[in-house]
Chain A
Amino acid sequence: MRYRSRSYAVFTVTNTIFLALLGLLCILPLIHVLAVSFSSRAAATANIVNFWPVGFTADAYSNTLGNHDFLRAMWIGVERTVLSTIVSMAVVTMAAYSLSKSSIRFPGRQLYTWIFVFTMLFSGGLIPGYIVVSKLHMIDTMWALILPGAVSVWNMILMLNFFRSLPPELEEAALIDGAGHLRVLWSVYLPVSLPSIATLSLFCMVGSWNSWFDGMIYISKPSGYPLATFLHSMIVSDNLSRVGVSADQVQNFSSRTVKDSQIFIGALPILLVYPFLQKYFVKGIVLGSVKS
């Protein structure tokens, strides 16, 4: 038995209760929203719903899933997430392969690394970025949501570190057998890196599913919004009406149950991938942030 003392026993009990409450505090808000979304409209308006639906009904969901604007935004969101993940992972993996070589094998590696890292430290800012995208005539196209953020230097560093941890014999054997580097990357490195690639892809997916600001600035028509941007515009307009901005300025204002069902559907993909994600990210974070 560790630390046998009375005061430590008291501490253990208090600590356990405190941590349990803290854990609950992190999901109760979500549960409340879920409960409201499954409650009857009357119960939601009367403010009697806590953490369990009152007057259970799935009306809000059938309303949301019958809403064409919502479905279109969801489809754009899915499309954007899939394309962004593919483009970003392809570009980042290829670059990471080259950067993982030693400076002797690939002189120039250092310079390239700094070119990428510098973009993490300093940026021209929102408006010059916007001007570039608009000069390229990418406003209102899917490309504006995919290309500007495709090079994730953070993912590149994680991937590069992973490639470096592979035994060099793997590559040497393949090179001796006459394979070129493109071949080595494709048929030797990629198959053994699948766990890492899966993890980074999940991060990419979560990132692009969640991102809304680029949709807000690069897409001018609400009919082209991905789901996250659509939800943002809905939430903000709803918030405006609550603080007293006149109701007729506010469009697509919908009832609380419907709004909460939309919020929940927006969070659902994350809640679904979260268990898979959680297995890996601890390793990723520790690898990426501390190196001795």
Chain B
Amino acid sequence: MASYWRKTWPFHLLLLPALVLVIIFAYIPLFGAAIAFEDYQPWLGIKGSPWVGFEHFRTIFEYPDSKQVIINTLIIASLKLVFNLVIPVIFALLLNEVVNTYFKRVVQTLVYLPHFLSWVILGGILIDLLSTEGGIVNRFLNVLGMKSIFFLGDGQWFRFTVIVSDIWKEFGFSAIIFLATLVGIDPSLYEAAEIDGATRWQQVVNITLPLILPIVIVVATLSLGRVLDGGQDQILNLYNPLVYSHGDILDTFVYREGLMSGKFSFGTAVGLFKSAVGFIMILISYRLAYKLANYRIF
């Protein structure tokens, strides 16, 4: 034991700052989540507050608002998951057909950019663009002879806007991993196919698709863990009381009901419910990714 420490103390020392921070800001809150089972009163503290068991969790499913919130979350998150997989794959396939490297690089530079801008900036831009009082998108629709659309004030349109703008922000960046795989495909496969008289379409179907399928499966399964992540960052920058009914997701609900209105215990219960479902989904998805595509994180 003594010799173990003599040999490894510098490693422990170097890990110490990170470890202390993680314990304070990740593990202590984990135990602090016990307040989900209490009627937490800030002045009584975690130890002094009365225990109520699973009452808050029952409330989640009885409360009329929370049912709607769970439905919103599932709709928004699952549509995002599907489109944020399909569209980047299609985009990567199309970009891969471009021969001119200069053009390719310019397109890539442009489509990656929105990923690096925050939702605060993009939210501000979208609100300006989509405004019904002369926002450029509605002006364009008017020119085409259509009526203005209340993108951020009508529930259904709000969901549509949230999903489309998320795709717009991320599709380029999500495509990177598929592009990298496509670049790695051995060109002699295509040459051989061409000599055999395969058309470009046949080459895509018989060579490209089978070769990127494993990575598509990995990305698809790993994203399952986010099935309750509707994107709090985005929604908090876009929504307003008019669309709470269609736009509220679990995270924004925790923020508004739990933190803003001071229902600490109920908010924590909702957060814990989300965390637990997410954790189970991540375990399942890692299992699946390992089975289907032999993928391991470490």
Q: Which of B239-267 contact A (CB under 8 A)?
A: 240-242, 251, 254-255, 258-259, 264, 267
The answer for the CA separation of A168 and B297 in the assembled complex, in Å, is 23
Given contact pairs A3-B200, A263-B124, a sample of 12 additional A-B residue pairs in the complex whose CB atoms are under 8 Å apart? A2-B99, A15-B97, A27-B113, A115-B22, A124-B271, A128-B29, A235-B123, A242-B131, A245-B241, A260-B128, A266-B121, A270-B117
The answer for the CA separation of A205 and B154 in the assembled complex, in Å, is 36
Is the pair A147, B17 in contact by a Cβ cutoff of 8 Å?
no
Is the pair B127, A26 in contact by a Cβ cutoff of 8 Å?
no
Interface of B is mostly: helix
A residues near B24, Cβ cutoff 8 Å: 132, 136, 147
- Counting chain A CB atoms within 10 Å of each CB, the highest count among B8, B106, B124, B295 belongs to B124
The answer for the CA separation of A244 and B131 in the assembled complex, in Å, is 12
Beyond A125-B268, A256-B128, A263-B124, whether A274 also contacts B116 by CB under 8 A is: yes
Is the pair A121, B30 in contact by a Cβ cutoff of 8 Å?
no
Is the pair B33, A115 in contact by a Cβ cutoff of 8 Å?
no
Chain B interfacial residues counted at CB < 8 A: 98
Is the pair A231, B120 in contact by a Cβ cutoff of 8 Å?
yes
The answer for the CA separation of A230 and B114 in the assembled complex, in Å, is 20
Which range holds the interface residue count of chain A?
35 or more
State the A residues within 8 Å of B (CB): 2-3, 5, 8, 11-12, 15-16, 18-20, 22-27, 29-30, 32-33, 36, 46-47, 50, 90-92, 94-95, 97-99, 101, 106-109, 112-113, 115-117, 119, 121-133, 136, 147-151, 156, 180-182, 185, 206, 209-213, 217, 228, 231-232, 235-236, 238-240, 242-245, 256, 259-260, 263, 266-267, 270, 274, 277-278, 281-282, 285-286, 289-291
Tell me if B18 counts as interface (CB < 8 A to partner A): yes
State the B residues within 8 Å of A (CB): 4, 8, 10-15, 17-19, 21-22, 24-33, 35, 91, 94-95, 97-99, 103, 106-107, 109-114, 116-118, 120-129, 131-134, 136, 139, 152-153, 168, 172, 176-177, 180-181, 194, 199-200, 215, 218, 232-233, 236-238, 240-242, 251, 254-255, 258-259, 264, 267-268, 271-272, 274-275, 278-279, 282, 295-298
Is the pair B107, A19 in contact by a Cβ cutoff of 8 Å?
yes
* 14 examples of A-B residue contacts, CB within 8 angstroms: A23-B107, A33-B125, A119-B26, A124-B29, A125-B254, A125-B275, A127-B258, A132-B28, A147-B21, A147-B24, A147-B25, A235-B127, A239-B152, A290-B218
B residues near A119, Cβ cutoff 8 Å: 22, 26-27
Is the pair B28, A235 in contact by a Cβ cutoff of 8 Å?
no
A residues near B121, Cβ cutoff 8 Å: 210, 231, 263, 266-267, 270
The answer for the CA separation of A21 and B168 in the assembled complex, in Å, is 13
Beyond A95-B18, A108-B8, whether A123 also contacts B127 by CB under 8 A is: no
B residues near A282, Cβ cutoff 8 Å: 176, 180
The answer for the CA separation of A136 and B2 in the assembled complex, in Å, is 35
Least Cβ–Cβ distance between A89 and chain B, in angstroms? 12
Is the pair B110, A24 in contact by a Cβ cutoff of 8 Å?
yes
Beyond A125-B268, A126-B254, whether A242 also contacts B10 by CB under 8 A is: no
Is the pair B25, A239 in contact by a Cβ cutoff of 8 Å?
no
Beyond A131-B264, A132-B24, A263-B124, whether A112 also contacts B15 by CB under 8 A is: yes
The answer for the CA separation of A132 and B28 in the assembled complex, in Å, is 7
